[in-house]
Every structure is written in C-alpha cells, then in structure tokens.
Amino acid sequence: MPSNDSFDKSIMLHDLSWLEVGQCFPPYNERARLDTYRINRMLFRTDVPEEYNTYISRITRVIGNFDNLISFPIVLGYPKLMTLKMADLVCGEYPNITAKTEGSSDILDTIRDDNDFDAKMYSTVIDISRYGDAIWRLYKSGEKYTFTVWDPSQWFPVVSQDGTNTEIKHVLCWTENRGDELNPDWYLTAQIHEVGYYIEKVFKSSSVDRQILALVSERKVPTGLTVNAVMHIRAFKTTDTVYGDDDYMNIDSTISELATRVAQVSTILDKHADPILTGPISLLKADPVTKELTFKPGRYFATMPEDKDPKYLTWDGQLEASFKQMEFLVDQLYILSEMGSALAGARDSTFQAVSGAAMRAKMVTPLAKARRISNSLTIHVKRLLSILSSKGYPQAFKPNDISVVWSDGLPNDPRELLELAKLACGENTIMPIKEAIMRYLDITDKEADQWIKDIDKRAEEMIEREQANLDANDPEQKNAGPGPKKGQVASTKGSKTAITNVNPAKQN
C-alpha cells in the first residue's frame, strides 16, 4: 500500500514540542503510521480503503462496470482470517499461569476472572497482528488495579536520542467534540505517562485542521506504580525503531493482485457463460420498419438439407494461465503470511495427520510465528499480573515467581499426552508427578492434588488386596519375610525374652 511505503519507522518523537499551542495534531511525523493503522483497520473489517482505487481502476479498464459485478471485500477477507487464526494459535487456548507459593493458583485464577484477562489477551494479539503494536494501560478501579487494551492510534511514544531507543514517555491523546455537528467544539486530551504518575492536559483545538489553540486545564495524577502505567507490546524488536511490524504489509501486493485476477476471471466467465444460438440465416426475421434482422425464440424452423442445424455456441475461455497465476499467488500468500495451510485449514487430501506430532509438523511455520508473539507477551504478562496482585488480593507475586506456559491452540492427542506424562515421571524421573500431569493433561493445581491422592489410595488398596490373596493362599507365609513377625514386639529384635533394646555402651 502507498502508506506502508511512506511509513518511515526510523522517524520517531523525541520531545513534547508537538504538543504545544500552535501545533497541529496529530504531529506530521506520525501521520503515516496512523494512516497505516487506519488502512489495516479497514482491511480487518473487510472494508475497501481508498488506497485500493489504483487496483479498482485497473480492473475497471478491463471490465467497465466492475462495482456491479464483484465485491472487492470477497477477496480481501484474507487479512482478517490470518489475524484471527494467529490469535487462536497464541491464546485461543488459555495459557497455564502458576506461581511457586502455596494457594497461588486460586489467587491467579481470581485475578484473571476479575480483569477479563484472557479476552484482553485475545484482543492484544489481534492488535499485534494488524497494527504491529499493542498497548496496555493500567489504572486503579476502586481498591484494585486493572488494565485495558488501548487503541494504538491514540498512542505517541517519546523516545530517547541516545541510541538505545528507550521509550521514556508514553503519551495517550484523543479528541472529542463537545458540541454538535452544526456547531462543533473540539478538544484534545493528552495524558503524558511517566513512572509513578501522568500529567493530563486538555487543549482547545480548531475544527478545521485540529490546530492546538489554547491550554484549558492541566493536572498531575499519581498512579501509585513503580513503573509506567502504559505498556507497549510488539512481536519482535529491531534496532532502528520502537514500532512493530504488522502482518498485512508483506501480503498487501499479493492480495491486491489476486483480487484483480479473481475479478477479471469472474467477469469473463459471466460474460461468456451464456450460450448463443447459431444457425442458418433463415432463422432471422427482418423488422418491417428498421429492416434489422432479429431472432424470435419459441418458433419451429424447418431446414433444408444444405442448411446447418441451429445450435448453441459455447465459449472456451482458455483461462488455464489465469488459474495457474492465481494458484501461484495463493501459494505466495501462504508463504509470506507464514500461515501455510493453517490459513485455509486442510485444503487438500494430503493433509492427513495421523497423530498430534504429525499435525504439529505440518504446522511448524505458523506455530513458530505464534511462539514469536507468545515469547514477547510472557514478560509483560508476568509484570502485569505482579502489579494486579499488589492491591486487593491476599498475596502479591513477584514477576519471577510467576510461570506462564502457552498452548498452541491445536487439538491434543490424548494418547501422546499420556505417554509424555508417563515418560516424565516414570522410572527415570525428570519431573514431579504433579507437575507432569498439570502440564501434559491440562488440569488445575487442586485437580492434580486430588488425582495424586486417588492414585496413592488405589495403590494402597491394590497392595492390601495382593497381601490378602497371599495370606489366603499360603497361611504359613504370614510371618515370612523381614520385619517384626506377627505377635512380636518390634523392640525385641526377634528375642523371646528381651523386653528392651539395651545399649552395651550405656550399661555402666
């Protein structure tokens, strides 16, 4: 897209001069980024951005009445599908979050429920996919901390100029019309977030070019946090910018070309699919006024032996080259989006996974992409839960005490999971049984404790039954084997007369 090409991510904000009276909002350097967000938002909603007029005009030159023949969004549904598939792979199956301390699982589950944590994680991954950036804002609600997923188009980071690209301030800005459509009255609100507090400024702005006219109010609001209340998440970092990369930029030209091909082929097929009747000229009748030869169906025509029989002419479009080109474009779409067959599911008969491992081998590329996002999310999730637990909950957790295990969203193979659990806690034990069944069988801390109790109980009952069977089959063996025998006191050590275990060293 044109806006993606003009979005120079190395140009960043380094101070707050753009937020002074007389400046226009949004700042000029940020408009390309905001324009990219706008286009990607429309693509996610399957709307047609005006930037696609170039492709539409290309089709119109061939077709003419293109808008009446095919809907462009039919072909542009790939971005939304790709984003939702990635969100499903990352957090469609909720991550397993635990802590080291006793009773921590219940507290963490309560925190997740109170803050609608998992739904917000899904929204976060959607923003990372379509924008490249996701923003969390922490704030106090009552006596507890909570958070929301903020619109990145209202986020303006201030970056240090020392080469580290450190985000020293996060500015959240939004405009609001306090008047009506006939008499607009626009205001700009800016929250300048730093560690422990933010400064909120309200400006009067013009209705035409959004120029900042005057400062209306200013206040300092403490957050009570030892970190910035705004968190920026992206899939990966580069050395030349703080902004992330969206998933749509790489596939934009491929989707546009594919949309053009589909539209052209559809029009050709529609135009020539209607058969045309051919036959001798005797089928036609001249109009008495215009003398124009016309054909009236529904009549019977007798033909002479030398005449050709009437027949319908069908058209062979010879579209093999077009379909091959479309197939090539679809393959490129799968490659560039890193989604492979995950984008369309099992689209051919060769996708027949006989086990969970085989299925994951087929999905290695999209799973690697999902891990890239989940790895970036892990440290932010730990810090977030640590902050949320610090107010209003029985126990506060440190980030290092929290463990986050992400699932892949794919169907599990129960047989393979049981085998893995057995291998982990079998003869060559490498993992406690509780940890193994929680990780591989996806159960909670309480359920794992109950499972272990049931397993131990069944094992004891089995031993008792086996011992009872041995005693019943061979009564003479009741007193066989090591240890105190039936009727003996353990302290006698097998003696019939001794009553205590005397230590010779203490006899004197």
Give 169-175's long-range contacts (Cβ < 8 A, gap of 24+). Answer: 169/16, 169/193, 169/194, 170/135, 170/228, 170/230, 170/232, 171/16, 171/19, 172/137, 172/230, 173/19, 173/25, 173/26, 175/25, 175/205, 175/210
The vertex-189 CA angle with 185 and 190, nearest 5°, equals: 155
How crowded is residue 441: how many other Cβ atoms within 10 Å of its Cβ?
16
- Each domain of the chain, given as residue ranges in start order, spans 1-273+317-410, 412-477
- Ranges of residues in the chain whose predicted pLDDT is under 50: 1-5, 66, 68-71, 73, 346, 349, 486-508
| Burial grade of 335 (CB within 10 A; 0-12, 13-18, 19 or more) | middle
pLDDT for 217 equals 95
pTM of whole model > 0.95?
no
Q: What share of the chain is helix, strand, coil (3-state, %, to 5)?
A: 45, 15, 40
Q: 174 pairs with which residues across the strands?
A: 189
Give 119-122's long-range contacts (Cβ < 8 A, gap of 24+). Answer: 120/147, 120/148, 120/149, 121/90, 121/91, 121/95, 121/377, 121/381, 122/87, 122/91, 122/92
Distance between CA atoms of residues 187 and 207, nearest Å = 9
pLDDT for 206 equals 92
The three state secondary structure string of 407-457 is CCCCCCCHHHHHHHHHHHCCCCCCCCHHHHHHHHHCCCHHHHHHHHHHHHH
Query: Over the stretch 167-195, which tens digit does the pLDDT of each residue have?
Result: 999 999 999 999 888 889 999 999 999 99
